C-alpha cells in the first residue's frame, strides 16, 4: 500500500516552536509560530488538497468524522486559495503552549489513594498516557510501569529532557516499592507521549498528533499538564476524536490565578476534564486558574514526586493536580468504567470543600470513594461530529450516541442555524435503542455562509445531553460556471473536476491563474450555452468534461507518482482546450445571434 492510501500518516519533523508544560506556577501564554499554519479539512476531503499547497508539511492528522488536519508552512497565495475552498474548515496560525508545572506525598494521602492501595486497588490493566515532556525511562519508581511511548518533537526519543513529565508520571502512577514515592495508581501502564521539548514547549499540531496517537492506541486516560491562554481548532479536533474513541482527557486548568474565568486550553474544551489546584489546607492554590469549566479539584501545591535522573523534586501547579485525577481515572477504567462513566463518578463522589463552583467544580477528588463507594450510573452521552457532503445549499449533519446511560432509548436530533443566530432550527427526531452514529440532511441553505450545529439527545429516563457545537461553511457555488451548465450539474462529474481544481490546479501559480481566468470569462459563456444546449460548442464541452472527469478519477486512484504527474499535465491541457472552445463557441454563437437580429 502506498503512502497515498494510509489513513494515519504522521510526518514527525521537528517544528520551530512548541507547547509548554504547565507544572510550575505561572502564566502560560499561547504564542504564534511565525510562518506556520494549520489547515483543517472536512472529513471527506483528501490530504492532498492542503499538502500540495504546502512548502513544508509537519503533520497530517486524520480525526475520522471530526475532520482532517495538515500543518506546516504555506505560501501566502496558497493560504488565500485554501481559505476560499469549501472543503477547508479553518486556517489558523500554528501556536505554542506552556507546561503547567517511599514517603507518602500529602496529595496522595488527601485524596485517599493510600486507602485504595490497602484495599488492593492498583490500576492494573489501565493505560495512562502522560502527554508532556516525556518520562525518565530509567527511574526506579517508574520503570516497572512503563509501556510503549512516542516522540512528536523530532528528538527521536520519548525520554524526558526536562523533568516535568516525569514529575507528573510519578503522581499518577509511581510504583509501590517501599522506596521513593507512590502514585494514585501503582500498577497502571504509563505511556510517555513526548510533545514538549527540553524547554517545556511544543506546537499545537505536535500536541494534536500526540492526542491522536493515544486514541489510536486505545489507551484509557490522557493526562495533559500543559496549556495556553488561547485554543486551537486542531487541538479541538484532536480532543473530540479522542473522546469519541473512549479516551478520558484530563487537563490542568492553568496557573493564571488569582483570576476569574481564566481556564486555559485544552482544559476549557467541553470534551476535557478541567482540574483546579488546592493546597494542604484545602484552600484554592493562589496560582490556580478558575472558571465555569472547572469540573474537579485536586492537590497541586508543594507536591513531592519523581524527577529526572532518578531523583525527586517538589513542584507546584495545576500540572500537579491534573495527574492525581488521571491516576484515579486509571483506577476506575481498570475496573471497567467507560470514559464518560469514570468522569461522572469522580464528580459524583468528590468532597465539597466549601469553595465556589468555579474554583472547585464538584469538589476535591476522593479516589477511594470513587472506586469503592461511588459507582454512579452510566451517563447518557452524545457527541457532535463534523458535517459532510457540504454543498452550496445542503449539508449532512453527523453525531454519535456514545452511551445510553440508564435509558432504554434516546431521541436524537440536531439544532442548527447560521453562525451567531443561536441555533434556531431543529431536525426531525430519531429514536435510537443502541449506541452508534446518526445523521440528518438539511437543505435550503445560503451559499458561502457559515453555519453552526450540535447534536442533542434525550433519554427515555428523562436524562439529556448536548454535544459540542461544530461549524461548516457552504460552498460559494459555481455561479456562471459553463462546465456546470454544459453537464447539467451532473454530480460525479462536477465533484471529480472540483477535486482536480482544488488539489492540482490551485496548488501552483500557473494553475491558479488558469482557474482565475476560467471564472472571469465563464459567466457569459454559461449564459450562451444555457440558451443553446445542443450547439456544437455545448456538445464538445460535454465531451471534454466527461473525459476530464474520467482522467481525474484515474489520477486519484493511481499508486504511481509518474502516472499521476502525467495525468495532471494532460488534464491541465484539456482544461485549457475547454476554456478556448468555450470562449470560441461563445463568440461564434453571439456573432450569429447578432447577425440574425440585425
Q: What residues are annotated to the active site? A: 132, 164, 319
For strand 425-426 and strand 470-473, is the pairing parallel, antiparallel, or unpaired?
unpaired
- Spacing of C-alpha 490 from chain mean position: 34
Among all chains, which residue has been given the C-alpha cell 510501569?
A: 145
Q: Which long-range contacts (CB under 8 A, 24 or more apart) does 51-54 make?
A: 52/503, 52/504, 52/507, 53/78, 53/79, 53/81, 53/82, 53/506, 53/507, 54/78
| CA–CA separation, 275 and 279 (whole Å) | 13
**Grid cell locating 394:** 445542503
Contact 55, 73 (CB under 8 A): yes
**Is-cis flag, bond preceding 170, omega within 30?**
no
**Which stretches of 277-317 are DSSP H helices?**
none
For strand 189-194 and strand 127-132, is the pairing parallel, antiparallel, or unpaired?
parallel
- Residue 482: count of CB within 10 angstroms of its CB: 29
| CA–CA separation, 235 and 443 (whole Å) | 30
**Which stretches of 349-467 are DSSP H helices?**
357-360, 367-368
**Grid cell locating 425:** 432550527
**Grid cell locating 448:** 458561502
**Grid cell locating 213:** 496517537
**Grid cell locating 504:** 492540482
Question: Shortest CA distance to 186 belongs to which of 169, 203, 201, 198?
Answer: 169
Q: Any residues with CB less than 8 A from the CB of 514 and at least 6 apart, and which?
A: 505, 572, 575, 576, 579
Q: Residue 110 to residues 37, 300, 313, 375, 571: CA-CA distances in angstroms?
A: 44, 11, 19, 20, 69
**Is-cis flag, bond preceding 34, omega within 30?**
no
First and final CA of the chain: distance in angstroms? Answer: 64
**Grid cell locating 494:** 462536477
| CA–CA separation, 85 and 475 (whole Å) | 8
Q: Residue 553 to residues 156, 255, 500, 564: CA-CA distances in angstroms?
A: 38, 52, 9, 11
Length of the chain: 598
| CA–CA separation, 268 and 253 (whole Å) | 7
Among all chains, which residue has been given the C-alpha cell 484552600?
A: 283
Question: Shortest CA distance to 168 belongs to which of 327, 17, 20, 36?
Answer: 327
| CA–CA separation, 250 and 134 (whole Å) | 17
Q: Name the β-bridge partners of 99.
A: 226
Contact 299, 309 (CB under 8 A): no
Report helix, strand or coil for 550. Answer: helix
| CA–CA separation, 470 and 253 (whole Å) | 23
| CA–CA separation, 225 and 130 (whole Å) | 8
- Residue 237: count of CB within 10 angstroms of its CB: 28
Amino acid at each position: 500500500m502506498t503512502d497515498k492510501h494510509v489513513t494515519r500518516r504522521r510526518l514527525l519533523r521537528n517544528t520551530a516552536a512548541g507547547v509548554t508544560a504547565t507544572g510550575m506556577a505561572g502564566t502560560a501564554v499561547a504564542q504564534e509560530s511565525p510562518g506556520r499554519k494549520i489547515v483543517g479539512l472536512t472529513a471527506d476531503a483528501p490530504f492532498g488538497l492542503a499538502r500540495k499547497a504546502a512548502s513544508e508539511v509537519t503533520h497530517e492528522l486524520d480525526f475520522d468524522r471530526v475532520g482532517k488536519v495538515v500543518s506546516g508552512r504555506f505560501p501566502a497565495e496558497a493560504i488565500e486559495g485554501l481559505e476560499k475552498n469549501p472543503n477547508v474548515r479553518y486556517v489558523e496560525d500554528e501556536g505554542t503552549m506552556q507546561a503547567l508545572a517511599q514517603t507518602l506525598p500529602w496529595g496522595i494521602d488527601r485524596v485517599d489513594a493510600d486507602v485504595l492501595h490497602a484495599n488492593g486497588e492498583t490500576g492494573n490493566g489501565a493505560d495512562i498516557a502522560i502527554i508532556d515532556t516525556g518520562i525518565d525511562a530509567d527511574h526506579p519508581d517508574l520503570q516497572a510501569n512503563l509501556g510503549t511511548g512516542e516522540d512528536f518533537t523530532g528528538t527521536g526519543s520519548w525520554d524526558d529532557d526536562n523533568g516535568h513529565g516525569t514529575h507528573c508520571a510519578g503522581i499518577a502512577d509511581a510504583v509501590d516499592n517501599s522506596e521513593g514515592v507512590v502514585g494514585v495508581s501503582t500498577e497502571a501502564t504509563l505511556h510517555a507521549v513526548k510533545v514538549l521539548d527540553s524547554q517545556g514547549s511544543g506546537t499545537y499540531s505536535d500536541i494534536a498528533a500526540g492526542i491522536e496517537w493515544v486514541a489510536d492506541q486505545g489507551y484509557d486516560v490522557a493526562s495533559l499538564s500543559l496549556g495556553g491562554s488561547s485554543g486551537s481548532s486542531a487541538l479541538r479536533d484532536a480532543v473530540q476524536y479522542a473522546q469519541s474513541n473512549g479516551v478520558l482527557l484530563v487537563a490542568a486548568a492553568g496557573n493564571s490565578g488569582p483570576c476569574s474565568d481564566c481556564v486555559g486550553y485544552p482544559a476549557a474544551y467541553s470534551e476535557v476534564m478541567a482540574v483546579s489546584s488546592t493546597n494542604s489546607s484545602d484552600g484554592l492554590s493562589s496560582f490556580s486558574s478558575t472558571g465555569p469549566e472547572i469540573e474537579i479539584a485536586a492537590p497541586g501545591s508543594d507536591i513531592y514526586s519523581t524527577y529526572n535522573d532518578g531523583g525527586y523534586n517538589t513542584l507546584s501547579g495545576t500540572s500537579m493536580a491534573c495527574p492525581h485525577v488521571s491516576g484515579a481515572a486509571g483506577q476506575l477504567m481498570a475496573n471497567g468504567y467507560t470514559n464518560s462513566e469514570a468522569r461522572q463518578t469522580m464528580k459524583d463522589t468528590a468532597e465539597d470543600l466549601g469553595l465556589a463552583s468555579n474554583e472547585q467544580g464538584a469538589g476535591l477528588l476522593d479516589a477511594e470513594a470513587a472506586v469503592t463507594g461511588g459507582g454512579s450510573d452510566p451517563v447518557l452521552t452524545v457527541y457532535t461530529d463534523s458535517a459532510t457532503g457540504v454543498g452550496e445549499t445542503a449539508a449532512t449533519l453527523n453525531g454519535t450516541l456514545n452511551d445510553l446511560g440508564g435509558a432504554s432509548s434516546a431521541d436524537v436530533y440536531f439544532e442548527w442555524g447560521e453562525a451567531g443566530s443561536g441555533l434556531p432550527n431543529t431536525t426531525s427526531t430519531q429514536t435510537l435503542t443502541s449506541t452508534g452514529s446518526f445523521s440528518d440532511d438539511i437543505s435550503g441553505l445560503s451559499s458561502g455562509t457559515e453555519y453552526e450545529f450540535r447534536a442533542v439527545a434525550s433519554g427515555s429516563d428523562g436524562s439529556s445531553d448536548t454535544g459540542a457545537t461544530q461549524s461548516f461553511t457552504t460552498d460559494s457555488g459555481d455561479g456562471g460556471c459553463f462546465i456546470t451548465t454544459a453537464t447539467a450539474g451532473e454530480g460525479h462529474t462536477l465533484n471529480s473536476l472540483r477535486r482536480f481544481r482544488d488539489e492540482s490546479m490551485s496548488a501552483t501559480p500557473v494553475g491558479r491563474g488558469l482557474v482565475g481566468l476560467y471564472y472571469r470569462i465563464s459567466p457569459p459563456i454559461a449564459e450562451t450555452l444555457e440558451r443553446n444546449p445542443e450547439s456544437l460548442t455545448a456538445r464538445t464541452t460535454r465531451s471534454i468534461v466527461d473525459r476530464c472527469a474520467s482522467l481525474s478519477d484515474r489520477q486519484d486512484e493511481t499508486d504511481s507518482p509518474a502516472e499521476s504527474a502525467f495525468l495532471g499535465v494532460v488534464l491541465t491541457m484539456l482544461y485549457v482546450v475547454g476554456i478556448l472552445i468555450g470562449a470560441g463557441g461563445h463568440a461564434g454563437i453571439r456573432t450569429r445571434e447578432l447577425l440574425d437580429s440585425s
